[in-house]
Amino acid sequence: MFVDAWDPSYGASFEGDSSDGPASPSSAQVDTDVEVPAGQWAPIDVSSRVRCPDVVFLVDGVRRNDAGLWTAEEDGLSYAGLAASYAAGVVRCDLRNGVAELAGARVARGLFTASPSAEDLQAGSVRYEVHRVSGTGEASKLPAAVQAPLTALEIDISGAARDGGSDGADLLVVDGPLRNRRQLPRTIGYVKTQQKQYLPAALTAVVTSLRPTQRTPVFQLGTVWGGWSWYLRLPGASGAPWSGIVRIECSPDLTPAEAVELADLSSATLPRFASSSYKDPRAPQNLVPIAGLERRLRGMLGDARVLHRALAIATARTR
DNA sequence: AGGCTAGCCACACTGTGGGA
DNA sequence: TCCCACAGTGTGGCTAGCCT
């Protein structure tokens, strides 16, 4: 379900048509809720006219369940708890000097439970800060509660990384859909796997005909959220129609011109980070800096067995 | 409001390769 | 041949967003 880029309600022009307003009145009705400006949809090659930003930030997060536990309340009730470690990090890629560095990474640990009496848990040298979850706090629901603080940590750390090392002409790439990170400036969501078709068949053919580094025009998702999106083919694809295709999205709060600018930047920038198939089976979509960041973050979470033992000792002491 | 979907992550399982 | 470590794959569960 989508409406294409020259959403008439926006009063904006379709990309590629800089001055004459919505380009093609002879739009072809392809689907009941899809309107296609005929003749406008073609691959776009920006490599010769768009310069990469000097600095690109890539942000990602990882998490791990360290232990499951149960509380014993004074009234005889018992609540499930989850001790989890999570970490978020940002890689700062200086494209001018060809240098990538960890711009920031933070590890946090939480005790997620609905228990009204639970307190922070000190397990050896690490502290699990209690996060009270609402509802019955079933054990099966607890892993999901980790996602919110992890996203908050990602937002926090990417903002801090930008404050410390950017002149404003940068680009922030977050792994996965933007979701509630859309308020971050000059930020794109990077979706690696294509489980849903946002385009009708006629336009999908344009996606599969993309050559490496080419992108589709920007289109607007015809949803309540209504974000801007486009497809890009990374180099190193196997040759299969959807090989190396990623979907990128940015905030619906941006003007069409701003969305197009981000699309151009992404096309000039992301192909440089595409991984090689001999190094990474998820190539080329799994970007090299993100893969390295994930490894680093997992290492920072600490040894799971050591933490599990520390938690077992800590909970035994509180009995 | 409730059910459904997309995309992500964690985890368990399986296969493979190297070393003893 | 066995053991171990590592990587790949499949499954399930979650949230946010979407649809009715």
Q: Which nucleotide is nearest to A82 (CA to C1')?
A: B10
> What per-residue confidence (pLDDT) applies to A168?
59
Report the residue count for chain A: 319
Q: Is the CB of A72 under 7 A from strand C?
A: no
Q: Give, as ranges, the nucleotides of chain B with any atom within 7 Å of a protein CB.
A: 5-11
pTM score of the predicted model: 0.78
User: Which amino acid is residue A31, in one-letter code?
Assistant: D
Strand C closer than 7 A to residue A197 Cβ: no
**Bridge partners (DSSP) listed for residue A174:** A59, A189
Q: Cβ distance A291 to A283 under 8 Å?
A: no
Averaged pLDDT, A214-222: 76
Chain C positions with any atom < 7 A from a protein CB: 7-9, 13-19
- Report pLDDT digits (tens) over A253-308: 777 788 888 888 888 888 888 766 555 545 666 777 777 777 677 767 776 667 77
Place of tokens 């079933």: A138
Res A20: pLDDT = 28
The answer to whether A273 touches A292, Cβ cutoff 8 Å, is no
Using one digit for the tens of pLDDT, what is the confidence trace for A144-181? 677 777 777 777 777 777 776 556 568 888 877 776 66
Q: Which of left, alpha, beta for A256 (phi over 0: left; psi -120 to 50: alpha)?
A: alpha
Please tell me whether any atom of strand B lies within 7 Å of the Cβ of A196.
yes
Q: Per-domain residue ranges for chain A?
A: 8-53+170-293, 61-166+300-318
pLDDT (0 to 100) of residue A208? 80
Report the C-alpha gap between A207 and A210 in whole angstroms: 5
The phi, psi pair for A289, rounded to 5°, reads -65, -35
pLDDT for residue A178? 72
How are beta strands A28-31 and A34-36 bridged, if at all?
antiparallel
